């Protein structure tokens, strides 16, 4: 079955590439025209509510899309950021109920409601332009969305890790994106930290001011999520993350618990069926005397296993300091939540997060 799916993907690849090459220029032009129209009517189309917080030395832009009501975990995120000394601008890509608007304002410095134009990056842009227009000069600017439970615990040290990181642009996780024309590192768009140096630069201002508002999610991912790190690196800024394939390699190579490592590999086989044959060969070699952990560096380098870091086995994520879980519904994300629950790892999470994770995959009113 896995081989049949691979054949189908390979047969479909040239047609998808042809469609992408045909539509991408039009979507870019359309996105630029949409941005011009949006900016011309921006003040009329957005609703701004001043919050209780004062804008502090560090600011977060939190993008939410919760048309059926704001989740309790969102208020936990706001509480955590406030405790860390971070003031938050909430941007909602959907209209808010009066009680949610009031409660969000009580836990933030600003609440902005806008049309869902440009998906998450359109919402990020709105919050960032507000920071720039109000001439705020944060020492750090965090940009995140509600597609993740973050943090998982009240004592999360993620913000402290961001403060200690020397890189100009910093994220929670980085992947290696493999293309026929080579590989490049990407930062996942659910969390960024930009340094004061970046925020004060014309590069940063121009990037967000001139951003096309594209209403096609795969193109948004391709044009912005996949290219943001590369864009700022090209302009001389350094890029880093809490978790990346190099750290995964180091952890797995040094893992001495053979059974634990084999369980991780079997989980990887279920999550990525296309890698099953290669991983099974690794396990066979292990039984013949070549320890799996000694095969890991070459496996990552040659076959790209474990380079999609947000789908890592929960044991790896936990060991490397991950403080988030994705809410999205693809099978690999569901599998990770199932594994978290099976291992009981969620029992150590904050009660609000724990309760939502326990119910998430059975809820009929999920918002992600």
Q: What share of the chain is helix, strand, coil (3-state, %, to 5)?
A: 55, 15, 30
By three-state DSSP, how is residue 117 classified?
Answer: coil
Neighbouring C-beta atoms of residue 256, cutoff 10 Å: 8
Provide the whole-model pTM: 0.89
By three-state DSSP, how is residue 41 classified?
Answer: coil
CB 112 within 8 A of CB 130: yes
Sketch the domain layout of the chain as residue ranges: 44-243, 245-360
DSSP state of 225: I
Helices vs. strands in the chain: H and E counts, helices first: 17, 11
Mind listing the pLDDT tens digit of every residue in the chain (368 residues)?
A: 444 544 444 455 454 555 556 678 888 898 999 999 999 999 999 999 999 999 999 999 999 999 999 999 999 999 999 999 999 999 999 999 999 999 999 999 999 999 999 999 999 999 999 999 999 999 999 999 999 999 999 999 999 999 999 999 999 988 865 554 445 678 999 999 999 999 999 999 999 999 999 999 999 999 999 999 999 999 999 999 999 888 898 999 999 898 999 999 999 998 888 889 999 999 999 888 898 888 988 888 888 888 777 789 999 999 998 899 999 888 888 999 999 999 999 999 999 999 999 999 986 445 54
How far is residue 42's CA from residue 36's CA, in Å, rounded to a whole number? Answer: 10
Domain covering 44-243: architecture: Alpha-Beta Complex (3.90)
With both helix axes pointing from N to C terminus, report the angle between 276-287 and 292-303 in degrees, rounded to the nearest 10.
160
Strand partners, 113: 47, 92
């Amino acid at each position: 079955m896995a081989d049949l799916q691979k054949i189908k993907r390979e047969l479909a690849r040239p047609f998808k590439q042809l469609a992408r090459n045909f539509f991408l220029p039009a979507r870019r032009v359309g996105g630029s025209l949409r941005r011009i129209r949006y900016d011309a009517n921006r003040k009329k189309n957005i609703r701004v509510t001043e919050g209780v917080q004062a804008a502090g030395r560090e600011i977060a832009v939190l993008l939410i899309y919760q048309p059926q009501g704001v989740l309790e975990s969102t208020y936990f995120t706001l509480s955590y950021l406030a405790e860390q000394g971070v003031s938050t601008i909430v941007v909602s890509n959907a209209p808010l109920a009066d009680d949610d608007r009031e409660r969000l304002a009580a836990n933030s410095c600003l609440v902005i409601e806008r049309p869902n134009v440009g998906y998450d990056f359109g919402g990020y842009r709105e919050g960032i332009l507000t920071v720039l227009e109000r001439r705020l000069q944060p020492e750090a600017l965090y940009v995140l969305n509600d597609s993740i439970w973050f943090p998982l615990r009240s004592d999360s040290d993620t913000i402290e890790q961001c403060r200690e990181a020397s890189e100009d642009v910093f994220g929670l996780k980085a992947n290696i994106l493999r293309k026929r024309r080579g590989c490049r590192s990407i930062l996942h768009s659910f969390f960024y930290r930009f340094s004061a140096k970046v925020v004060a630069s014309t590069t940063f201002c121009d990037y967000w001011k001139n951003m096309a508002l594209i209403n096609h999610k795969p193109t948004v991912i391709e044009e912005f999520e996949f290219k943001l790190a590369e864009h700022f690196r090209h302009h001389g800024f350094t890029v880093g993350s809490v978790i990346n394939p190099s750290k995964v390699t180091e952890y797995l190579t040094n893992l001495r618990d053979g059974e634990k490592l084999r369980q991780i590999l079997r989980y990887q086989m279920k999550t990525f069926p296309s890698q099953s044959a290669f991983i099974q060969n690794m396990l066979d070699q292990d039984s013949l005397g070549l320890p799996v952990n000694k095969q890991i560096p070459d496996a990552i380098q040659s076959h790209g296993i474990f380079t999609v870091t947000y789908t890592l086995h929960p044991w790896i994520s936990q060991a490397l300091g991950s403080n988030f879980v994705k809410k999205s519904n693809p099978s690999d994300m569901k599998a990770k939540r199932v594994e978290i629950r099976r291992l009981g790892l969620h029992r150590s999470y904050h009660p609000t997060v724990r309760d939502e994770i326990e119910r998430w995959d059975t809820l009929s009113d999920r918002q992600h």
